[in-house]
Amino acid sequence: MRSPNPGTPRQCPACRRAYTEAVTRLVFLTLFAGLPLWPQTPASAPQGQWISLFNGKDLTGWTPKITGYPAGENFANTFRVVDGLLTVSYDGYDKFQGANGRERFGHLFYQTPYSNYIIAVEYRFIGDQAPGGPGWATRNSGIMVHGQKPQDMGLNQDFPISIEVQLLGGNGTAPRTTANLCTPGTNVVIGGQLVTRHCTSSTSPTFHGDQWVRVEAEVHGAGTIIHRVNGVEVLRYEKAQTGGGNVKDTGPNAPADGVLLTGGTISLQSESHPVQFRKVELMVLPGE
């Protein structure tokens, strides 16, 4: 009978010791270096810690949806990364309107929906507005929370049914607050009263020029949502819910009116003025 192979760890004591020591060194070095033994994703991050939703290199984890185009089609490379900054650009547009005359509003959706969290961005407006962009959209963008999935939007739908944390830049002269509230297809409760107007101004200062501004939205499911600018609270409301009917060409999966929003997608807007984001980060809160 053929003798067992003396070189296998199971049969050779010296080989078995060497194998065990090698594995032990590998595990020790991995833990000592602070490296995870498996990849960590934002969805698995501990509560109370900031995680980056933008990797600084590309749009991994994000899906564009632009009016007139299917989800996933990034018309004219609207959303891109430039020098490590998530950038919304219109240099590939001849005008902001499409062939059907509709304005090509766009949104870039993060892959994971959330319910209880703080979303924070640091943004600045740059350059000139795209030709044909509406006057109100000058130096205008936004963070959409509690939103629809991009795949559930109609092909020509202009905005996801969501809550918008409106990002505005000053025009160089007049006061213009940022971190305002706008409500595409939604309503909220402020001071115990249902508010059905489309936009509500915050109490923030005005930020002229191309300075960086940090805006946070603290979201508690169907409860309170708080807007902060550079760490200062500027607006709060609660009980975000569907309703209002001011979103065009919704698809067949649009929610019915009067439904409390307990969570949903997060997205960033393209509304015709170039804007850059150097940070897009999120902190998961208890209850997520």
Q: Report the DSSP beta bridge partners of residue 269.
A: 107
> What pLDDT is recorded for position 31?
33
Nearest to 284 by CA among 39, 59, 112, 61: 112
Planar angle of CA 240, 223, 147, nearest 5 degrees = 40
| Contact present, 83 and 253 (Cβ < 8 Å) | no
The residues of the chain that CATH labels 2.60.120.560 are 42-284
Sign of the four-CA dihedral 284, 232, 265, 121:
negative
| Contact present, 185 and 246 (Cβ < 8 Å) | yes
> What pLDDT is recorded for position 50?
97
> What pLDDT is recorded for position 63?
98
> What pLDDT is recorded for position 45?
62
| Contact present, 277 and 110 (Cβ < 8 Å) | no
Q: Which fold has domain 42-284?
A: Jelly Rolls (2.60.120)
User: Could you say which residues of the chain have pLDDT below 50?
Assistant: 1-11, 13, 15-20, 22-43
Nearest to 146 by CA among 260, 66, 249: 260
Over residues 181-225, the pLDDT tens digits come to 999 999 999 999 999 999 999 999 999 999 999 999 999 999 999
- Rounded Cα gap, residues 142 and 127, in angstroms: 17
Task: Give Cβ neighbours of residue 49 (< 8 Å, ≥ 6 apart).
Answer: 283, 284
> What pLDDT is recorded for position 25?
44
pTM: 0.84
- Rounded Cα gap, residues 89 and 77, in angstroms: 8
